[in-house]
Amino acid sequence: MSRKVSVRKSVFAADEQYAFKIREMFKDKGILMLNIIGSPGAGKTTLLEATLKSLPFKAAVIEGDVATSRDAERISKTGTPVIQINTQGGCHLEAHLVWKALQDLPMEELDIIFVENVGNLVCPAEFDLGEDYKVAVCSVPEGPDKPLKYPHLFFRAGVVLLTKVDFLEHFNFDKELFWGDVKKLNPHAAQLEVASPVGKGMDAWFEILEKWLVEKRR
C-alpha cells in the first residue's frame, strides 16, 4: 500500500531566499552587484584584472571555480579584496554560497561587487545570486554561434561583452551574425567589444558601470 503526500516546494526554495536577502541588503547599502558569466577561458578574470587596475570605484570580487584559488590569486595582485568559492564539482554558483562569501568582505567601503561565476555557458544563467545584472562574456575564438546555441545567458544579460576582439581578423568571426542574434534574443542588452589586455573598449565598459551605479543609488 502507498499513499500520496503533497509537497509543492521549489527545490531551490531555500536558495531563492538567500538571493532575496542579498538583493535587499545591497538595495540598502547602494552596492552594485554583477554576475559575470561565460565559458572557461572567455576572458572573465582578465577583464576583471584590467577593470580593477583603473576602476574609479571601490570594488571587491567573489571568484567561483570548481577547484583551485588561481583566479583569486590573480585578482589579489590588483590589491582588490577577493573571496574564492570552490564549488567542489558544482557547475554553477548558488546564492547561499555567495551569501556566505559576502560575510568576509568589507561591505561598508564598497561600491561594486563582481562575482565571477563558474566557467559554463549553460546553467549559471538560471541561478539568481541576488545580482543587479548578469554580464555575458563571450570571446571571438568561441565563434559567433554561441548566442543561439546558449540563449539563456544572452537573454538574461544586462550587457554582452565580446572579448578578444584583437583576434577578430584571425578567426574570420562574423560580427554581424553575432550581434544580430544577440539583439534578437535580447534587444535590451548593451553590446560591447573589448580587448582588455590592450585596453580596447574599456571606456565604454566603465561608462556602463558608472551608469548602473548611479541608477542604483538614485
Partner 1 sequence: MHELSLIEALIEELEKQNELNKWGKVLKVNLKVGAMRQVIPEVMTFAFEVSTEGTFLDGAKLELDIVPIKWRCKACGNEWDEERATNGGLCEKCGSIDVELLSGMELEIESLEVEDTDVTES
Residues of the shown chain interacting with ligand GDP in the complex, contacts defined by CB under 6 A: 38, 40-46, 119, 163-164, 166-167, 195-197
Q: Is residue 102 a contact partner of residue 22, using CB atoms and an 8 Å limit?
A: yes
Total interface residues for Zn ion by CB under 5 A: 3
Distance of alpha carbon 178 from alpha carbon 143, whole angstroms: 8
Q: Which is nearer to partner 1, 66 or 208 (CB)?
A: 66
Q: x-or-dash pattern for Mg ion, window 43-62, by CB under 5 A?
A: -xx-----------------
Distance of alpha carbon 140 from alpha carbon 172, whole angstroms: 9
Q: Which is nearer to partner 1, 12 or 171 (CB)?
A: 12
- Grid cell for residue 179: 550581434
DSSP labels, 90-156: -SS--HHHHHHHHTTS-GGG-SEEEEE--S-SSSGGGS--S-SEEEEEEEGGG-TTHHHHSHHHHHH
How far separated are the first and last CA of the chain, in Å rounded? 61
Q: How far is the CB of 41 from ligand GDP (least distance, A)?
A: 4
Distance of alpha carbon 25 from alpha carbon 19, whole angstroms: 10
Query: Which residues make up the interface to partner 1 (CB under 8 A)?
Result: 1-15, 89-92, 94, 122-123, 126, 151-152, 155-156, 184-188
Q: Which is nearer to ligand GDP, 12 or 76 (CB)?
A: 76
Residue 71 makes contact with Mg ion by CB under 5 A: yes
Q: Which is nearer to ligand GDP, 19 or 182 (CB)?
A: 182
Residue 123 makes contact with Zn ion by CB under 5 A: yes
Q: Which is nearer to Zn ion, 92 or 156 (CB)?
A: 92
Q: How far is the CB of 93 from Zn ion (least distance, A)?
A: 9
DSSP labels, 66-80: SS-SHHHHHHHTTT-
Q: Is residue 92 a contact partner of residue 118, using CB atoms and an 8 Å limit?
A: yes
The option from Mg ion, ligand GDP, partner 1, none interacting with 16 (CB < 5 to 8 A, set by class) reads none
Q: How far is the CB of 101 from ligand GDP (least distance, A)?
A: 17
**Footprint of Mg ion (CB under 5 A):** 44-45, 71
